[in-house]
Structure 1
Amino acid sequence: MSAAADRWATQTGPARVLAAARSLLEQRRSGDQVRVKVTLTEAERGQVGRLLGLAWETSGAAITLGKLRAAIARTGDDLDALLTRIGGPLDDLPARRARDAAALTASVDGAHDRLIAAGIPAHAVALARRRRWLGRPGAADLAGRADALARLWHLLPMPGRPLPELSNTLFADTHRLDREAELGRVAARLLAAAQADPAAAEQAADQALTAARWRQVWAAYGISCDEVSSTVLILGLTLTGGSAAAAISQAAASCGEPVWLTERSLRGDWRPGAGTSVVRVCENPAIVETGAAEFGAGCRPLVCIYGQPSSAAWTLLRGLATAGVTLLVTADRDKSGLRFLADMLALPGAQEWLPDADGVYEEARLPDLLADLRGDGIRAPGVA
């Protein structure tokens, strides 16, 4: 310890030099040839020169750690000791960064390990980590979000439970799992990825927040999402069984009236009515409305998806296809319609309805479609 060095260190110029030296040493840049880069006024350079010497002060040379150590040593002191006295112990910043990085990695590992321990498929957890669904490393809610998702997974499946009720049970908040809520969005992506094969998990997660897929994702675990808002339009289609949809369809078909079935009404037991082997499927309600006006109860069974198929539409179409019904499907032949059509044609046994009829939009093909909907009219090729 040197009183002379301590007095020198209190001056503006030396204080700036020592601060720059501390920064270098804390970065492990400690070699004698390392330059201490600092801009000094003429007066400050004079202050520093009182320790480094007149030759250095007048030379215009830079300061190196070696020169600074040697100058302080001439006072009977040591650079590290002087820096510790005036500013506290020197830090090891690379070591600190390594510790911080290790702690962040451990927190991320721990959060995702919590999901694995809960039983969530490893491929879905890996995707969650890659996409940072739980938050960025160091996020305050990382562990909390993992815990919330693990608690959710432990309760699933829960047949017949509305999503707000499940959310309230878990979090005392009916909106915590909403599609607009951060946790709800993360949960839907994770559940969609968990449902899918590993190769398809990323695409499933990307689609999970669309209205139709959102309902389907939760429905796969028995959870209902606003089932009365998801609808599909039918005409002349009868269903049997104990579900509300069966009773509604029978009443509507008996008087030739179009009727909307909700996702809720399609819950429970239902199947196609006796003799229902073929069902036509269109995109636009104008086809249904015209069919009802022209043929009433004599119209062949018809389903209208009304644009992008809803979860109710997919529930009905998949159920019919699974029961062995041949689905004859058509849509507008624009970009979106062709996408709907391709999706529906992927259903078991589905065929395109009147593919040779001219017209981009269904309304342009209305005479051909109506002729085929009439019981004694033109039939689709190969269909009785």
Structure 2
Amino acid sequence: MTDPLIAELRDEACKPLLERLVKKLKRGGPLTGVCQLRKLTETQRVRIKELTGSTSRGPDISVNLADFDGIIRNTGRFDSLQALVEATAGPIVNVREERDADSAAWEKLWDEANQRVADDDLMVRCVADLRQSGWLKKVTKREPSFAIELFTQSFDLMKRLPVTSRPLAVFAAECLGDAHALDAGTILSRLMLRLIAAKQQVDIPRRASGRRRMWESVGIVIDELSVSALAMNLPAVGDSLSDKMLRQHHAGGMPCRLTFRHLRLHPPSFTLCTKSKSKDRLIYVCENPSVIAAASDRYRAQCKPLVCVEGNPNLACLNLLSLLTTAGYQLSYHGDFDWGGLRIASRIHKSFGFIPWQFNAVDHQKATHRCNHRNMRLLRPPKATAIWDPALAQSIDQSKIAIEEEFLIDDLLKDLCAG
């Protein structure tokens, strides 16, 4: 049976008084002093005065909380006014104490995070940015325990990166026991992209394509079926599914597209005869699909081995180039004569090396003389270098124009006939 004092304080007429007392306790203050209650109805004034022993006159009531506390104690049913309020309203959280505890927990979190990355200036800066921006507090709904878990997982994952061509789901399952833990949109995935971006000193990607490329930059493939390599007439000699696909496409004079999954589960074999002449060791590599399409149209099965990186090469393409160069083949590369083309080429050169295929300063100057400058796209910064031929970058800079592979297809095709 409910205590009469509790029932009285819970009554609708006494609601203004109860709300004020609860609010005072939540702020961490003692139930002392005078509680002013204004704009009360006649019923509320009568009931509150009867309960508290207030002698106020007029429309407003002043409740002396010390006197009210004495009245409650004298009943012998509650030790204090605070005990009555807590019994009436239920457990009351001290907001100030909770806020102080929350602040202390976050301070501890940031201190521990800084200790874990103390030897990495880029990560220290990233932690500072996360703290200043408030992003982590927002996405974790101010739950420091959740944030600590995220930091622990993300820092452990960063120690494992980069990896060698791993599907995202496989990587997540191996490291976290949950294949979907790093799916797009999860807080852990978003935090990882922030850490990777900080490590690489680049902006956080906002588009799906940018996020995919950032994962690929550390060896992770988001979707192994949508990431693929485009090639034609490669010297496949094995019995895997990829080998058979390459040979069948070669027989039909058609380019072949191998997904990352093909290359991971059914890698092709490229065995190079030790007596092969240097020209037979070459694998031509172009930047744009229009080149491989034109080569297929003109030469079909008689086209020399050709790989297309399709712009900035993805992990499937890099995987394929690695298989070829590991087998002893030499890449011969051509790309766009612009800053983006040089950056792509430099990435390939640093990874595998290559022989320039009509892709040095002399070749650029010849191409510049043949092109109509009025119809050419102007160069877009930032500038880039050509580590295989520094003079090429100087020549491109002086020309002020970009010359794409499509303008030079006829010249490139002359080198691709194997007949």
Above 0.5 in TM-score?
A: yes
1:161 positional shift: 6.5
Please name the residue that 2:387 is paired with.
none
Q: Do the aligned partners of 2:236 and 2:247 also contact (CA within 8 Å) in 1?
A: yes
Q: Do the aligned partners of 1:218 and 1:225 also contact (CA within 8 Å) in 2?
A: no
Q: Do the aligned partners of 2:236 and 2:269 also contact (CA within 8 Å) in 1?
A: no
Structure 1 residues 217-236: aligned runs within 5 Å: 217-218=218-219, 230-235=227-232
Q: Does 1:132 align with 2:136?
A: yes
Alignment equivalent of 1:291, drawn from 295, 304, 308: 295
Alignment equivalent of 1:176, drawn from 177, 180, 194: 180
Q: 1:183 to 1:270 in 2, by over 3 A?
A: farther
Q: Do the aligned partners of 2:288 and 2:405 also contact (CA within 8 Å) in 1?
A: no
Q: Do the aligned partners of 2:73 and 2:81 also contact (CA within 8 Å) in 1?
A: no
Please name the residue that 1:328 is paired with.
334
What is the CA deviation profile of residues 78-137 of structure 1, one whole-angstrom value per residue up to 9, with x for unaligned ones? 9x975224224987532332123323544x448747965999984487279555398443
Q: Do the aligned partners of 1:299 and 1:374 also contact (CA within 8 Å) in 2?
A: no
1:234 positional shift: 3.1
Residues of 1 paired with 2:246 and 2:278: CA distance? 13
1:235 positional shift: 4.2
Q: Does 1:375 align with 2:415?
A: yes
Please name the residue that 1:304 is paired with.
308
Residues of 1 paired with 2:150 and 2:39: CA distance? 49
Residues of 1 paired with 2:150 and 2:250: CA distance? 49
SS state of the match for residue 23, structure 1? Answer: helix
Q: Do the aligned partners of 2:24 and 2:31 also contact (CA within 8 Å) in 1?
A: no
1:288 positional shift: 1.8
Structure 1 residues 1-384: aligned runs within 5 Å: 13=13, 16-17=16-17, 19-24=19-24, 26-27=26-27, 36-49=36-49, 51-53=53-55, 56-58=56-58, 60-61=59-60, 63=62, 68-69=64-65, 72=68, 82-88=80-86, 92-106=94-108, 108-109=109-110, 112=113, 116=117, 122-123=123-124, 126=127, 129-130=130-131, 131-132=135-136, 135-138=140-143, 141-149=146-154, 152=157, 165-173=170-178, 175-177=179-181, 179-180=183-184, 182=186, 185-186=189-190, 189=193, 192-193=196-197, 196-197=199-200, 199-200=201-202, 202-203=203-204, 210-218=211-219, 230-235=227-232, 258-260=255-257, 263=260, 264=263, 274-275=278-279, 279=284, 281-285=286-290, 287-296=291-300, 299=303, 302-306=306-310, 309-314=313-318, 327-330=333-336, 341=341, 343-344=343-344, 347=347, 354=367, 357=371, 368-375=408-415
Give the AA of the match of 1:93: V
1:203 positional shift: 3.8
Any gaps of 5 or more consecutive residues in structure 1? 332-337, 378-384
Q: 1:299 to 1:123 in 2, by over 3 A?
A: farther
Aligned residues: 344
Q: 1:128 to 1:317 in 2, by over 3 A?
A: farther
What is the CA deviation profile of residues 315-346 of structure 1, one whole-angstrom value per residue up to 9, with x for unaligned ones? 567998xx996633139xxxxxx996475265
Q: Do the aligned partners of 1:36 and 1:62 also contact (CA within 8 Å) in 2?
A: yes
| Percent of matched pairs sharing the same residue | 14
Q: 1:342 to 1:204 in 2, by over 3 A?
A: farther
Give the AA of the match of 2:36: V
SS state of the match for residue 333, structure 2? Answer: strand
Residues of 2 paired with 1:246 and 1:163: CA distance? 25
TM-score (norm 1): 0.58
SS state of the match for residue 132, structure 1? Answer: helix
